[in-house]
Amino acid sequence: MFKYQFDWTVVTSGQYAEWLLSGIKVTFELSLLSIVLSFFLGLLIAVMRMSHIAPIRWLAHGYLEFFRNTPLLVQIFFWYFGSYKILPKAFNDWLNNTNFEFAAAVIALTIYTSAFIAEDIRSGVRSIPKEQMEAARSSGFSYLRSMQYIILPQAIRLTIPPLINQFLNLTKNSSLAMTIGVMELTYQARQVESYTFKGFEAFTAATLIYVVISLIITGLVTLYSKKILSPMKAH
Amino acid sequence: MIKFQGVHKWFKKLHVLNDVNLHVSPGEVLVICGPSGSGKSTLIRTINKLEPIDKGTLIIDGMDLSDPKTDINKLRAEIGFVFQQFNLYPHLSVLKNITLAPIKIRGLSRKDAEDVAMSLLERVGLADKVHSYPTQLSGGQQQRVAIARALAMKPKIMLFDEPTSALDPEMIGEVLLVMQNLASSGMTMIVVTHEMGFASEVSHRVAFMDYGIILEEAKPDEFFKNPKHDRAKQFLKEILSPMH
Ligand SMILES: Nc1ncnc2c1ncn2[C@@H]1O[C@H](COP(=O)(O)OP(=O)(O)OP(=O)(O)O)[C@@H](O)[C@H]1O
Ligand SMILES: [Mg+2]
């Protein structure tokens, strides 16, 4: 047995702390951007999945099955290594000029998570009594407008707990972005470890930071649903 | 204003509307009654195409419902529908429940829509509930808001499907009073109800239905004093008996 010397200063001050800090920033940006995008994409897929037009429904169904059932890591590698072969050149050029690793990670996390979010929203819609749709339609709203103003706002309120779950999964999954060189929190913790050999401190710090980030995201979504969305009690 | 000509409808094998012929003129109040399962809800729901018909013609305000050129959303905006279970939007305040369709469909400004909503809420006696949410209201209050919501679209026709059946007895009167005032303002109304007091005092005509067939159509005093059909006699006996 060797004796391990704890040294917490590597993660609380100096250059290594700065690395971790910049990792936190990237993890936050990656997560929040992907959360917002995956929510709206999931909403779109959910609506397509419930369309009266069969080909649109099939398309959404195929999307869901495909992206829910392939490993996220493979999808990340696909967008990073494989996407330039299928994407239009202009888009690739634009990606190359931005932060390509970051963009590939956002695309992969967004698409992967949107498939789960779409299913959650769809089951939220299913639990809204059909009379709500009838009331909306009989006022003269089209199907899509009824969805927009009456059904989805209620369904999303009911879907908040599973949505928070998906957002937290996304945040944790964002650590996989290190595999394509996104310098997020896990990547930076790894860096600190390889420079200092203080792996215990570095990963303990990273773990705690993930917990804090998760709590912040849960708090933000809960606050939003309580304060901004108007109250709705159970039917 | 509303014209059914040889209308039929089936739910699979169930012949739920059987050769319905019915005519409602502007300003007329028609009550439809009949035993449970006789097709009253289905009949009233065909008028705004919540239920499509399988055979016959149905002409509303000069528009043929089976004509593919008829814009159903536009027609529905002209027809107010009041449900047995109110069906207010639980995520919106009373004010927003009433102003949503006028703003989004009629294109009213928020201010104009809110003015209309306020005067309607005064008319149904709920001006103080403007910022409440549906779940905070009693059944009778919710139903009055639902009526105000329908009226905010300035409809030409109002349809009511058992508007008081889900209410506690002490709340029925307040809703019927609102409907009575509406009738005397000249609104064209079709009301499915078992409230025979409303039928005899407010309506101009009563239609009695059973098995999807309109068995009898008469002025209310005629219908109550001298029902012709045996099924109607039986129905009235059951519904007016003090044991009921
Ligand atoms: N969507 C549907 N699918 C199949 N059958 C239906 C459907 N809606 C109604 N029915 C059936 O059609 C018949 C007529 O129903 P409807 O609701 O019109 O009757 P009602 O006269 O309004 O009865 P109540 O007084 O109970 O409201 C009933 O036998 C009912 O079970
Ligand atoms: Mg009914």
Three-state SS sequence of A70-111? CCHHHHHHHHHHHHHHCCCHHHHHHHHHCCHHHHHHHHHHHH
Residues 6+ apart with CB under 8 A from A226: none
- Reported as half-sphere exposure (CB side, CA atoms, 13 A), residue A22 has a value of 11
Alpha-carbon gap, residue A53 to A83, rounded angstroms: 30
- pLDDT for A6 equals 85
Alpha-carbon gap, residue A107 to A115, rounded angstroms: 13
Strands (E), B137-238: 157-161, 188-192, 205-210, 213-218
- pLDDT of B147 over the 60 cut: yes
Spatial contact of B116 and B152, defined as CB atoms under 8 Å apart = yes
A137: which chain B residues are within 8 Å (Cβ-Cβ)?
50, 76
- pLDDT for A231 equals 59
Alpha-carbon gap, residue A90 to B104, rounded angstroms: 39
- pLDDT for A168 equals 95
- pLDDT of B190 over the 70 cut: yes
- pLDDT for A234 equals 40
Which residue has the least CA distance to atom 17 on ligand 1?
A: B41
- pLDDT of B213 over the 90 cut: yes
The vertex-A51 CA angle with A144 and B41, nearest 5°, equals 70
The residue to mutate among B12, B14, B45, having the most atoms of ligand 1 within 8 angstroms of its beta carbon, is: B14
Q: Do B76 and A142 touch (CB under 8 A)?
A: no
- Report domain extents, chain A: 9-234
Rounded percentage of chain B residues whose pLDDT exceeds 70: 99
Residue from the list B74, B83, B90 with its beta carbon closest to the beta carbon of A235? B90
Condensed to tens digits (0 to 9), the pLDDT of residues A199-217 reads 898 999 999 999 999 999 9
- Quote the tokens at residue A191: 């860096």
Spatial contact of A14 and A202, defined as CB atoms under 8 Å apart = no
Condensed to tens digits (0 to 9), the pLDDT of residues B227-236 reads 999 999 999 9
Pocket lining: B46 vs ligand 1, CB cutoff 6 Å: no
- pLDDT for A224 equals 84
Q: Residue B207 is which amino acid?
A: A
Return the ligand 1 atom nearest residue B34 CA: 21
Residue from the list B74, B83, B150 with its beta carbon closest to the beta carbon of A131? B83
Q: Do A137 and B50 touch (CB under 8 A)?
A: yes
Between residues B119 and A4, the one the model is more confident about: B119
Residues of chain A with pLDDT under 70: 1-2, 228-235
Alpha-carbon gap, residue B117 to A62, rounded angstroms: 45
Helix, coil or strand: residue B132 = coil
Which residue has the least CA distance to atom 22 on ligand 1?
A: B41
For the range B215-222, what are the long-range contacts, defined as Cβ-Cβ under 8 Å and sequence gap of 24 or more?
Answer: B217/B22, B220/B31
Condensed to tens digits (0 to 9), the pLDDT of residues B46-99 reads 999 999 999 999 999 999 999 999 999 999 999 999 999 999 999 999 999 999
Within chain A, where are the H helices?
A: 9-12, 14-49, 54-68, 72-77, 89-97, 100-126, 130-138, 143-146, 152-173, 185-196, 199-223
- pLDDT for A1 equals 59
- Quote the tokens at residue B225: 């004093």
Q: How far off is chain A from B106, nearest CA to CA, in Å?
A: 10
Between residues A225 and B117, the one the model is more confident about: B117
Q: Under CATH, to which class is A9-234 assigned? A: mainly alpha
> Given CB atoms, is B83 within the 8 Å cutoff of chain A?
yes
Which residue has the least CA distance to atom 7 on ligand 1?
A: B11
> Given CB atoms, is A135 within the 8 Å cutoff of chain B?
yes
Strands B14-24 vs B2-11: parallel, antiparallel or unpaired: antiparallel
Pocket lining: B239 vs ligand 1, CB cutoff 6 Å: no
- pLDDT for A230 equals 58
Q: Do A235 and B92 touch (CB under 8 A)?
A: no
Say what the ipTM of the complex is.
Answer: 0.93
Which residue has the least CA distance to atom 24 on ligand 1?
A: B36
